[in-house]
Amino acid sequence: MQVPASFEYRRAQSVPDALALLERFGEDARVIAGGHSLLPMMKLRLARPEFLVDINDLHELDYLRQEGAELCIGALTRHRGLLESELVGRLFPIFHDAERVIADPPVRNRGTIGGSLCQADPAEDLSAVCTAVRAVAVVLGAGGRRSVPMADFYRGPYETDVGAGEMLGEIRVPILPDSGSAYQKVERKTGDWAIAACGAALSLADGRIASAGIGLAAVGVSAAGYRRAEQALVGREPSEEVFAEAGRLAAEDCEPVTDTRGTAAYKRHLAGELTERALRLAVERALRPAAAA
C-alpha cells in the first residue's frame, strides 16, 4: 500500500486565507486541489511537502467567463468544467481536443487546470495548449497579483514561476478574430500520457496567417520554444507546404528522449506530423468558425 509521508493539512477558507497559510509555511507548503498529480508523487516520495493547503473550497477560483477580448479561466476549474463548457469549445476548441484525451472521467472530475499547469509535467497537455494560445498566468501573492506569460511561467520540468507564498489564480487567454485552434495527441492507450502531442492556434487576416502559436508536449523542452515554426507561418497563406515546413522546424527544435513510450526518433517524427495535423485543423476551424464548436 502506498501512503504519503506525514504532513499537516489546512483547508483554506478564502484566497487571502490560502495566501496567508502559504506565506506562513513557505517552501515547505504545497497547494492541493484535485491532487491527482501531487498525491501520487507524495506516495512515491518524489514530493514531500510538510504542509498541504487545500483550496477545494475556494469556489471563487472556479469559473469560466469572457471578459472583453479574453477568456478567463479560474485556476480551480476542473478538467470536466473545461470539457463541458460551450464557451470554451466555441472560442478555443483546442481545450476540448485536449480535455477529451486527458486521463479519464473520474480523474477529470477532480483535476484542475491550475494543478496541471503548476505540476508542470513535461508531458502534460494543458501546458502545451496554454503555450499555443498565448495564455497569461495570473499569480497571486501577498503583494498582489502579477501576470506571467506561459513562456516565462514554465521554468522546466516540474518547475514554474510560482514562488513560495504564491499560488496560481487565473489563466487569461486572448481571443483573436478569425482564429482557430487544435490539439493532436498520440498515446499508447486511452487516458495515458502523450508519446507526443502538439497544440496549434492561429489567426487569419486577408487570407494570410496573422499570428501563430505552437506548443508541444512530451518531446522535451525547447529552449527557444517553437518560434522558428511560428515565424515560418506568419504572413503566409495557409497551405500544405507551409504546414509541412512548420512541422519540419518543430521536429528539429524539439528535444525528445528515448523512453518506454518510444524512441527519440519516433517522437521527433510525431512532433512534426502532429504539428502539421494541428495546423491543418486549426486553419479549417478558423475558416469555418461555426464548425469549431
Partner 1 sequence: MQVTINVNGEDHTADVEPRHLLVRFLRDDLGLTGTHWGCDTSNCGTCVVLLDGEPVKSCTMLAVMAAGHQVRTVEGLETADGLDPVQQGFIEQHGLQCGFCTPGMMLTARALLDRDPDPSEQQIREAISGQLCRCTGYLNIVRAVQWAAHHPAAAAAATAPSAGSTP
> 52 or 254, CB closer to partner 1?
52
> 38 or 173, CB closer to partner 1?
38
**Closest C-alpha among 25, 6, 22 to residue 14:** 22
Radius of gyration of the chain, Cα coordinates, nearest whole angstrom: 19
Position 223 contacts partner 1 (CB under 8 A)? no
Q: Phi/psi zone of residue 258: left (φ > 0), alpha (ψ -120 to 50 degrees), beta?
A: beta
Cα separation, 136 vs 144, whole angstroms: 16
Position 16 contacts partner 1 (CB under 8 A)? no
Position 9 contacts partner 1 (CB under 8 A)? yes
Phi (first) and psi of residue 206, to 5 degrees? 50, 40
Position 28 contacts partner 1 (CB under 8 A)? no
Cα separation, 12 vs 126, whole angstroms: 25
* Touching partner 1, residues 47-76 (CB under 8 A): 52, 54, 56
Cell reading at 54? 487545500
We find the least distance from the C-beta atom of residue 84 to partner 1, in angstroms, to be 11
Angle, alpha carbons 138-139-140 (nearest 5°): 120
The DSSP element (H or E) to which 131 belongs, if any, is helix 125-132
Size of the site for partner 1 (CB under 8 A): 28
* Touching partner 1, residues 263-282 (CB under 8 A): none
We find the least distance from the C-beta atom of residue 104 to partner 1, in angstroms, to be 3
> 40 or 157, CB closer to partner 1?
40
Position 8 contacts partner 1 (CB under 8 A)? yes
We find the least distance from the C-beta atom of residue 194 to partner 1, in angstroms, to be 16
Cα separation, 215 vs 151, whole angstroms: 10
Position 83 contacts partner 1 (CB under 8 A)? no
We find the least distance from the C-beta atom of residue 57 to partner 1, in angstroms, to be 8
Contact pattern from residue 173 through residue 192 relative to partner 1, giving x for each residue in contact according to CB under 8 A and a dash for the rest: -----------------xx-
Window of 31-39, 90-98, 138-146, 199-207 that interacts with partner 1 by CB under 8 A:
31-39
* Touching partner 1, residues 90-149 (CB under 8 A): 103-107, 109-110
Cα separation, 224 vs 57, whole angstroms: 38
- Inter-residue contact 217 to 122 (CB < 8 Å): yes
- Inter-residue contact 201 to 179 (CB < 8 Å): yes
The DSSP element (H or E) to which 44 belongs, if any, is none
Position 36 contacts partner 1 (CB under 8 A)? yes
* Interacting residue ranges for partner 1, rule: CB under 8 A: 1-9, 11, 32, 35-36, 39-40, 43, 52, 54, 56, 103-107, 109-110, 190-191
